[in-house]
Amino acid sequence: MAEHSYRAQFIAYDLAKDLGEDPAACAHMMMVHDMQECLVGDLTPDSPLRPKKPALELSAAHKLAALSGNNEFLDLFLEYEKNETPRARICHDADQLECLIQALEYARQYPRRRAALEDFWPYVEARLTTAPAKVIFAELLKQKEELLASHREETARRPRGKAPAHE
């Protein structure tokens, strides 16, 4: 969670600069966008708790705000969740892009598991709302296609039945 939030802050900062929004405010929102996961956990789409995710996360966000005595964190979380402001839309795009970067890294590290990440790409593409995020998506997609082409070439050159040592 920490690595994701940290990297997403930089992405949000850059997107905000490109769009004429306040980069520091977007980075700040990204700092807290997943804070409730420290109590609830990261509820993936296949989690049995997924239907309860909004209520669980809202409750956790309120608890964390009460513990810290800082309602600004709660306000930022609520703004992010509503996704109605330009800042929130930028941050949602940053969140999705960071997940794609991580998926690309996993695809490089675990070639045999690449197929498990394929469904994620069209899902993210459909959710992106800002033009700069769509440009970054296209670049990441290009990198993914190059990786897949490289893997196909490598596989074609390899003697049949022999896997590389790192897989």
> pTM for the full model?
0.85
Q: How far apart are CA 75 and CA 67, in angstroms?
A: 15
Instruction: Report the CATH superfamily, name and number, of domain 2-157.
Output: Hypothetical protein af1432 (1.10.3210.10)
pLDDT values of the chain reduced to their tens digit, one per residue, 167 residues: 788 889 999 999 999 999 999 999 999 999 988 888 888 888 777 788 888 888 988 999 999 999 988 899 899 999 999 999 999 999 999 999 999 999 899 888 888 877 777 888 999 999 999 999 999 999 999 999 988 888 776 666 666 665 655 55
For tokens 């990198």, name the residue. 143
What are the domain boundaries of the chain? 2-157
